[in-house]
Chains A and B, each alone.
Chain A
Amino acid sequence: MRERKWFALIAVLALLLAVLTACGQKTTPTAAPTEKPTEAQATEAPTTAPAETEAPTAAPTEEAPAYDTAIYGDLENIDPSGQEVTYWYQHTRSREELLQSMIDEFNRTNEWGITVKGESQGGYGPLYQKIIAGIPAHQLPTMAVAYQNQAATYAVQDVLVALDPYVQSKKWGYSQDDLKDFFPVALTADYLPQFKGRYGWPPYKSMEVMYYNQDWLKELGYDGPPTTWDEFGEMACKAAQQPFSKATGEGKSLGYEYSIDASRFATFIFSRGGTIIADDASKYVFNEQPGVDTMKFWQDLVNKGCAAQATEKYGDQTDFGNGLSLFTVGSISGLPYYAKAVESGANFSWSVNPPPHTTAEPRMNIYGASQSIFKSTPEQQLAAWLFIKWMSEPEQQAKWASSTGYFPTRQSAADLMKDYFAEHPIYKKAFGFMAYESGVESPVAGYDECRTAISDMLTNVLGGADVQGGLDGAVEQCNEYLQEAAPSK
């Protein structure tokens, strides 16, 4: 009996020890898949691309390469050989497969024997939350996908490295000619005014466009898509009264179906010549006239029954495909999904256009998450930079863009996509919009929190609340976040 008791006691203690040991163990990073990379679809012949190529406005990159050697080491003489780095991203399913195949290719071919371990976090939201939780726990990847405002949030916590020294490095960086190959809009977006530095590098970009049903417009008696908001309202309300002849599926006929998203609101404000945040990033200003006009117009459309919120995830996309919504506005990265929705839905002629505007020329909302590097060792940081730089090479950009619907950020990559442009006229048309002027969503710490406040405002105002009151409340909340999140001086 006594022996049995002691045995039980020892067993309990052994179990406890095992649990505690297990808790203390480090998790092993996910192994990278071993699939072979897909073939690049691009060829070498140049194609039509946005008529740009002013010198990049990346002023910060032209400054003298003064950097902290405690963070970067002796950059020109570091050896990144044999480094193993982790990379967190938001992609899932086919995009993740493609990305993993590209990571494999880099791991196989890079001359330094660097190994990148890619780990999907399931989406932008979980990725951001996991990094936020990882900051106090000191459990961060070597690099991750981050929107500019998220990068600013990380930079406030002093866990991110500025990329200017890498960009400017003679050995590891870009020449001025290389930099000129990047579209200015892509490079300027990653410059964070609160830190006067670059904290992200853009291998691809996206933009908000208006999707429209060409056949339905014809049935309604219009030759083409609207270019002003008044035209948009008129067509939307007519569509709500006169359903599309080929419409399929359940649901009400609508002029415009929307999902609640701060980027949509920013798109509409930009199209009216406004901005979300003041130029010096000192305060939010979206409660000024362009914001008021946007919300009054939008609320009016909802009140008249011409516009309504999607009632399920990606419902705007599905209903557009079913011919139940004449217009939707969303990211160009959704293009392949829209194509599928139309094909499996009402199968009609459709296209994209810049959102209507009150400015003389369209004013776009061009955005996209970039790649940021977290503070680790100089060798690991450099290894991460070399992977990011490889992902930004024209071949890689062309491969990624032609498989995902995103846009490349450099002219030479677009030049490699001639065949893809020929096969995808809607994508080619949208790519031309990159040449238009664009607004920039707030690249400041606290904008993520502000986006939630904007979304709250949208549900409230579109649900019937007072426009000016709603906007003022959201601006007040956003300014509070801006101050709370600002880097300490």
Chain B
Amino acid sequence: MTIAEQSVSTSSETARRNGRRARKIREAIEAYLFLLPGTLILLTFNLIPIFYALYISMHKWRIQKGKFIGFANYLKALGTPIDILSVLGGLGLLAGAWMLWRKIKAEDSNGKLLLKFLFAFMLLFGGIAFILGFPKMLADGDKMLFKALLITFYYSIGTVPFQIIFSFLLATILFQDIKGKTTWRIIYFPPYVTVTVASAAVWQSIFDPSKGLINITLGGLGVPEAALPKWLFEAQGINVIIGHWFGINVPSWAGGPSLALVAVMIYNIWTFVGYNSVIYLAGLGNIPSSLYEAAEIDGASRWETLRNVTLPLVSPTTYFLTMMGILGTFRAFNHIYVMTQVVGPVGSPRGTTMTASMLIWKNFWDGNRFGYASALAFVLAGVMLSITWIQGRIAEGRVHYG
């Protein structure tokens, strides 16, 4: 090759490289331009409001902005800095210890003894910090907040497992070769797509103590008027009420959720069972039939097939529905508001339906405490993130993606 040919070849190589680079840049610009609308929408409607809420939470903000108060709203909610440090630090150490324990169990490393020592240290100090800090936090922080978190916890525990069990059973039945399968599937879905306010208002009238369908039916079955439950108007704990039936005096601290909250839970389960069933049906449809055939050839019973084939293979669906269910209960507002509105102010009766989201609303709208309500929203977001993290760690190794 001559020098002239070499030079032509180099320059054409450079031109090609430049052309490639220009195309790459153009493609990158194109990609960013396509990303721009979504990013702008996300920024405008999600991220900016979140940062603005954080900004509000650090001010004395009653309708309009007041002076900067730093973390005072957070301290009002959660107690002194020492309390917060003890509890969060303690929980952090306990979580770290748990992660470490999983590592120790999974690995066969030489440094196991050191890890075990570290684990013991984290467990011990995390536990002590939490045990010492938590009661102080309860005493120094906003008692309404902790009560609301407990009620939210009740609400979660009282709804999500039932949603999952009922919807799985329903989906399993609907998955069989039964007559009118599609019709049944349609019948169970409307509660989810019905406007919440409308369906909650209907359930509120169904639970009406004197004119509601449930009590009229119970009355018709011979339940004496004095024994009819007051449903949404009943602040007594469900355990206390059940205890009465059996002549046991259950102390109020062990009373559990109020009957009013139980009524709201029933509504919640009714709403989500249909939707969850449809998701489960999709999950069941994805299990290869060859696995069932193999199980049958191996002589597995129906229960064994369900236990060892179906349940593990729908575990991603179960995990998804559980996570969404729990997060949903922490954000629940509309139906609780509508159903209990007739009883009294937000959280009625006697504050027993005051979930965390209701408390935030109460502080924001009833109290005009914009700053404090924003701080509470961040506390709730923190709780939800922690729960999601724990759920994720628990699910690891238990969820099978086929």
Contact = CB atoms under 8 A, between A and B. Distances in A.
Most buried by A among B37, B343, B367: B367
A458 interface: yes
A456 B367 contact: no
Given A252-B210, A260-B343, A312-B205, 6 more contacts: A5-B30, A9-B30, A12-B37, A15-B37, A252-B225, A260-B348
B37 A16 contact: yes
A159 to B, nearest CB: 9
A101 B37 CA distance: 46
Given A129-B365, A252-B225, A311 B208 contact: yes
Most buried by B among A311, A456, A460: A311
B211 interface: yes
B350 A485 contact: no
Interface residues of B, number: 35
Given A311-B342, A452-B345, A485 B33 contact: no
A153 B349 CA distance: 28
Interface string A1-36: 000010001001101100000000000000000000
Interface of A: 5, 9, 12-13, 15-16, 129, 132, 135-136, 153, 157, 250-252, 260, 309-313, 315, 449, 452, 455-456, 458-460, 463, 465, 481, 484-485
B63 interface: yes
Contact of A16 (B40, B216, B367, B368): B40
Nearest to A252: B210
Given A260-B344, A459-B348, A449 B233 contact: no
A481 B30 CA distance: 55
A199 to B, nearest CB: 16
A465 B236 CA distance: 12
Interface of B: 30, 33-34, 36-37, 40, 62-65, 205, 208-211, 216, 225, 233, 235, 342-351, 362, 365-369
Contacts of A260: 343-345, 348
Contacts of B63: 132, 135-136, 153, 157
Given A9-B34, A132-B368, A460-B350, A312 B225 contact: no
A250 B211 contact: yes
Contacts of A456: 344-345, 347-348, 351
A157 B225 CA distance: 52
A312 B34 contact: no
Sort A-B residue pairs by CB-CB distance and give the 9 closest, nearest first: A459-B344, A455-B345, A260-B344, A452-B366, A16-B37, A251-B210, A250-B211, A452-B345, A311-B208
A15 B63 CA distance: 35
Contacts of A250: 210-211, 216
Contacts of A455: 344-345
A9 B34 CA distance: 7
